[in-house]
Amino acid sequence: MTELIDRWRAAARDAGAPDGPALDRAGEELLARWREPQRRYHTVRHLTAVLDVIDAYAELADRPDLVRLAAWCHDAVYDPRAPGDANERDSAALAGTLLAGLGLAGEAVAEVRRLVLLTAGHAVEAGDRDGALLCDADLAVLAAPPGEYDAYAAAIRAEYAHVPEPDFRAGRARVLAALLALPALYRFPPLAARWTGPARANLTRELATLT
């Protein structure tokens, strides 16, 4: 996990946080959250995958440092029993407290909070390059090869093991339908060209099994 802490430290420093023990403690706190036992998909592996996409396409963003910080925080609070967008709202609140405590400027903190909240519905306004990169990275798994996608879907089901099968099927179907109804699953042309077709095929295939 040393490499991940190094990536956290670099993003926070680029955003204006001073180096020091507090910075390392914040990164370790976030990693501890990403390792919580109730997680099956929303784990360190997901965090790393999102960061890898952001790094690969950082030139598309206006503030890639803030997009990286938002990636670190976007699922930092994850309770499968929480209603609605409570996890995203709580993650945004945590981001605000954590980053303000590290000395980031108020505008930067507010922007990270805004980005985290976008991951609740993945609806991004035209021209929002930072929001587009975060949401495209967060949804990259939808375009995975079928076997990998099925493993992701199974991990989501495991996170919601407490939900009876009929209720899970209905709720999951609503989520998939909402994703398919987005004006665009991916906003940046190089990502949309590669990922839209496989993602829509995966979503449609899973939706058919649920309904």
Q: Which residue type sits at 30?
A: L
Rounded CA separation 187/171 (Å):
25
pLDDT of 211: 84
Rounded CA separation 15/5 (Å):
15
pLDDT of 48: 98
- Buried residues in 129-155 as b, exposed as e (16+ CB within 10 A): bbbbbbbbbbbbbbbbeeeebeebbeb
Q: Which residue blocks in the chain are alpha helix, DSSP H?
A: 2-14, 21-34, 44-56, 64-73, 86-101, 106-118, 129-138, 146-159, 165-181, 189-210
Q: Which residue type sits at 192?
A: A
Residue 85's SS3 state is coil
Q: Which of 74, 206, 181 is nearest to 133 (CA)?
A: 74
pLDDT of 115: 98
Query: Which tokens in the block code for residue 199?
Result: 């993602």
End-to-end CA distance of the chain: 40
- Say if CB 5 and CB 31 are below 8 A apart: yes
Rounded CA separation 172/166 (Å):
10
Q: Which residue type sits at 211?
A: T
pLDDT of 2: 85
**pTM attached to this predicted model:** 0.96
Rounded CA separation 91/42 (Å):
13
Rounded CA separation 175/25 (Å):
35
The pLDDT tens digits along the chain (211 residues) read 689 999 999 999 999 999 999 999 999 999 999 999 999 999 999 999 999 999 999 999 999 999 999 999 999 999 999 999 999 999 999 999 999 999 999 999 999 999 999 999 999 999 999 999 999 999 999 999 999 999 999 999 999 999 999 999 999 999 999 999 999 999 999 999 999 999 999 999 999 999 8
Query: Which tokens in the block code for residue 148?
Result: 């990998």
Axis crossing angle, helix 106-118 with helix 129-138, rounded to the nearest 10: 40
